[in-house]
Structure 1
Amino acid sequence: MIFIKVVVIGGAAMGMGVVAKLKRLDPKVEIVVIQKNDYVSLGACGIPYYIGNKFEDSNMLLARKVSDFEKIGVQVLTNSEVKKIDFDNKKVLVQSLHQASEQSYDKLVIASGGTPIIPEVISQDYLNCFTVNSKEDGEKIQKLRSQVKDIVIIGAGLIGLEVAENLVGNNKVTIIEKGPRPLSNLFDQEFSDLVEDELSKNKVKLIKNNEIKEIICKDKTITEVILLDGTKIKCDLLICSIGVRPNTDFLLDTKLKLTPRGAIVINKNCATNLKDVYAGGDCVQTFGRVYKNEIYSPLATVAWKHAIVVAQNLAGIKSSFAGGLNTAIVKVFELELARTGENLNFLLENKINFKEVFIKDKDHTSYVPGQSDIWVKLVKDENKKTLISSQMAGHNKSILRIHSVISLIWNQTVLNEEIDQIDLPYAPPFSRTKDIINIALSKITQT
């Protein structure tokens, strides 16, 4: 290795993924991590299940401890934030709890992640208002849940729905969604309808096409929220879950190239426009695999892939990101959903000539108990004759069928007259003789 020191900004999935991989490739490399919390390697996706009492110890959210990295020679500066970067002189200005310091670097990795989007109406700090992005917020919500009755969640995205499931219990839960339907950026109308039915069945109230106009509070504690249409809702606990934006404010007015939304621009090697500076994860703009279109994809699965690419390039091993499909999976009470590929908005905006099929069938044979419905949508690029996206909904992990479809999309397999014969497994407890995937492929290839 031709350099001496690597500084990593951020200690979550992307940052610590780089550290772990790079240390395996070259144990002698010097690495300094700058982390704003007193912990690293947070698995934030587990927070809804922690606040839902699925497990008791919040430390289980941490994949590794700071001490684990210190044992392999990594210096972790906890409770520290980057205030400024001097790219010309390769120096990072760091502010810790008690002092400011400088860290020089030979190579720099920016893995600052995303920061929660907070609506303007939340103009101050409240004692009972939280996001779902930190271990601390998870711990506070978990402690409060038994003391409250009326819970309001802002946002019907993946995390908002998971939080609703885990908090409803004896509580009254209301979700406020600014858009026309839940999961609208990931799933089509047919699947949003299924989600709405599942929420209603489990006594979660969903209010669409609306947002909070005013917050009523007493002694910094929220007691009620008022919506745009004048609806008043009692609120003992307000949870904001409307997504994240790139955490890059400290990079504004620098030479580093950012998108208008603040995401760091990187190439396929996860390198920025500045020499010796790499970035990845929730703070960057990346690209789709099929059409090479620019996307912002704040997913843990993307972050770890970026981490491997960065680490290998730092170690002198040429590596590149292969592109993403925005694959996602979620459980909403008993309903399970999965999706992969480009969404309908992208197809329409880019005038893609596409064909889609939507099928409802059963997940396995009728004589084995527990048979339930499964829904599948496949979308084909008519010009390329390849699948470009898929969505599924079902129960009892039947939607894991999406794994086979992902492979077809990932490899851009040309759909011919034999594709519906793809050799999928069959046994009465798992599927039917002719699986729904075979049926859907047969229909999508028909001209």
Structure 2
Amino acid sequence: MKVVIVGGGAGGISTASNIRKIDKNIEITVLTRDNNVAYSPCAIPYVLAGKIKSFDDIIMKKPEDYKEKDIDVITEAEVTSVDSNKKAVTYVKEGKEIKLDYDKLVLATGGNPFIPPMNGSDLEGVFQIRNIKDGIKVQEWAKDSKNAIVIGAGLIGIEIAFGLKKLGLNVTITEMLPQIVPRSLDKDMADILTNYLELEGINVVLGQPITDLNGEEKVKSACFGDGTCIDADMVILATGVRPELELAKMAGCEIGRWAILVNERMETSVEDVYAVGDCVESQDLILGANTISHLGTTAVRQSKTLARTITGRKSKFNPVLNSMVSKVGKLEFGAVGLTTSFAQQNNIKPVVEKVEALTRARYYPNAKPMDIKVICDADGRIIGCQIIAEERVAERIDTMTLAITEGLTCFDLSNMEFAYAPPVSMVTDPLVIAVEEVSKKFN
């Protein structure tokens, strides 16, 4: 059997590795336009910030390393066409057009950076960060820059803004919505993070879209819709990505509202064509509707499911909750499930409580404040959680992910057993404090 995988990101390369773990005889070819595979794009902002020494450190494997697994990784290869009837793909490498037959085709094409409508986005000094090459360009350009603007205050935007600040630049981050991290945090929680960024010297501008980037050849300033402008030697467009669907459409795959439609076995509507990662739609566990999950953790889980599908084993990809965690400077923040506003948009009447606890026993040195927000539906079932603190956020988000997955109510969680020791927690865990408080709102 010949398996061809288009895309060398988390979804594509993990699919190849997981197939090989199960079956030693399948012929596997990975085609990627990048010159690197098996690296973490999520780590790029932390290289800029100096937390990770170099971009080389975030490359876990080189393409030639996969030869040991008998996986053929072809880099700098641009796939130009897919013929699902003849079961063949065509790619271009070093100016040569090459045709490759397949028995099974995996589309792991990821997403393309979204460029909002604005003048001057093609000026020198305007960047998008999707791979290591982009990160290196930004790092080099920053050496001769003074003022940087990051457009888009999602996770990547915030992390990059902090990284550029650590490089010594004057940094402004802008968001057209009235808060940062709008997909994962409610405004009251986002405001905590905004205040921290401002204390770190980052200027945060909310509720105003940038419409113009100005300069002759290089960018010199950015202007808002109201006509006000700020200086900029460099601009980062952190405005999100859109699924790359051109090859899927060539293959005849059914496309949903945003991306490729797949079933729980990662099969598309076309026989022997599969898809994983940023280019597919997933099912939301709480709402039951399709959603987008642009997370590396989702892509890796999907790849494990797909490897079992292709090798003829039972497989099922479970619905997603989009649990996330990040760290900017000293501050960790995480979320899982629905925000209050998103619940309301989907006709769910949320019951919400926000509490402040401590990360350790109050008498233990260096105990840090922990803000926790718990969101339940009208029956007390937990449907969302947001946490901000200087430590121990990730494990509590994971706990709440499990609670939501299992359909637990705030009453269930308040009676569960939690481990305790003064250096790592309060005797009553902060999660328990939060669900006890929200429980009081029910009769």
Q: TM-score, normalised by structure 1?
A: 0.94
Distance 1:227 1:415 in 2: 44
Could you say which residue in structure 2 is the equivalent of 1:184?
182
User: CA offset at residue 272 of structure 1?
Assistant: 0.4
Distance 1:205 1:56 in 2: 26
Residue 275 (1) aligns with residue 300 (2)? no
Could you say which residue in structure 2 is the equivalent of 1:289?
285
Could you say which residue in structure 2 is the equivalent of 1:47?
44
Distance 1:42 1:405 in 2: 28
CA contact 2:30–2:73 (8 Å) conserved in 1: yes
- One-letter amino acid of the structure 2 residue matched with residue 159 of structure 1: I
Could you say which residue in structure 2 is the equivalent of 1:364?
360
- One-letter amino acid of the structure 1 residue matched with residue 178 of structure 2: P
Could you say which residue in structure 2 is the equivalent of 1:213?
211
User: CA offset at residue 124 of structure 1?
Assistant: 5.4
Residue 320 (1) aligns with residue 316 (2)? yes
Identity %: 28
Partner-residue secondary structure (3-state), 2:45: helix
Within the candidate set 413, 434, 440, 1:440 is matched to: 434
- One-letter amino acid of the structure 2 residue matched with residue 425 of structure 1: A
Partner-residue secondary structure (3-state), 1:390: strand
- One-letter amino acid of the structure 2 residue matched with residue 69 of structure 1: Y
Distance 1:153 1:419 in 2: 40
Partner-residue secondary structure (3-state), 2:355: strand
User: CA offset at residue 123 of structure 1?
Assistant: 5.3
Could you say which residue in structure 1 is the equivalent of 2:223?
226
Distance 2:60 2:244 in 1: 22
32-41 vs 264-273, which moves further? 32-41
CA distance change for structure 1 residues 122 and 95 in 2, over 3 Å: closer, same or farther? farther
CA distance change for structure 1 residues 399 and 88 in 2, over 3 Å: closer, same or farther? closer
Could you say which residue in structure 1 is the equivalent of 2:369?
373
Could you say which residue in structure 2 is the equivalent of 1:14?
11
User: CA offset at residue 32 of structure 1?
Assistant: 1.2
Distance 2:375 2:63 in 1: 45
CA contact 2:286–2:383 (8 Å) conserved in 1: yes
CA contact 1:13–1:41 (8 Å) conserved in 2: yes
Distance 2:306 2:358 in 1: 44
User: CA offset at residue 254 of structure 1?
Assistant: 5.0
141-150 vs 311-320, which moves further? 141-150
Could you say which residue in structure 2 is the equivalent of 1:257?
254
CA contact 1:52–1:142 (8 Å) conserved in 2: no
Could you say which residue in structure 2 is the equivalent of 1:396?
391
1:82-97 aligned within 5 A: 82-97=79-94
352-361 vs 309-318, which moves further? 352-361
Aligned residues: 440
User: CA offset at residue 77 of structure 1?
Assistant: 2.0
Distance 1:21 1:255 in 2: 26
Could you say which residue in structure 2 is the equivalent of 1:428?
422
Could you say which residue in structure 1 is the equivalent of 2:199?
201
Residues 289-345 of structure 1: CA deviation (Å, up to 9, x unaligned) = 233221101100000001000011101111011111110111222221110012334
Could you say which residue in structure 1 is the equivalent of 2:382?
387
CA contact 1:198–1:332 (8 Å) conserved in 2: no
CA distance change for structure 1 residues 235 and 50 in 2, over 3 Å: closer, same or farther? same
Distance 2:342 2:264 in 1: 21
User: CA offset at residue 404 of structure 1?
Assistant: 2.0
- One-letter amino acid of the structure 2 residue matched with residue 17 of structure 1: S
Distance 2:395 2:162 in 1: 21
CA contact 2:107–2:248 (8 Å) conserved in 1: no
CA RMSD of aligned residues (A): 1.7
Q: Which runs of 4+ in 1 moved over 6 A?
A: none
Extract unaligned runs of 5+ from structure 1.
none
CA distance change for structure 1 residues 228 and 171 in 2, over 3 Å: closer, same or farther? same
User: CA offset at residue 257 of structure 1?
Assistant: 0.8
Partner-residue secondary structure (3-state), 1:71: helix
Could you say which residue in structure 2 is the equivalent of 1:246?
243
Q: TM-score, normalised by structure 2?
A: 0.95
Distance 2:266 2:429 in 1: 40
- One-letter amino acid of the structure 2 residue matched with residue 388 of structure 1: I
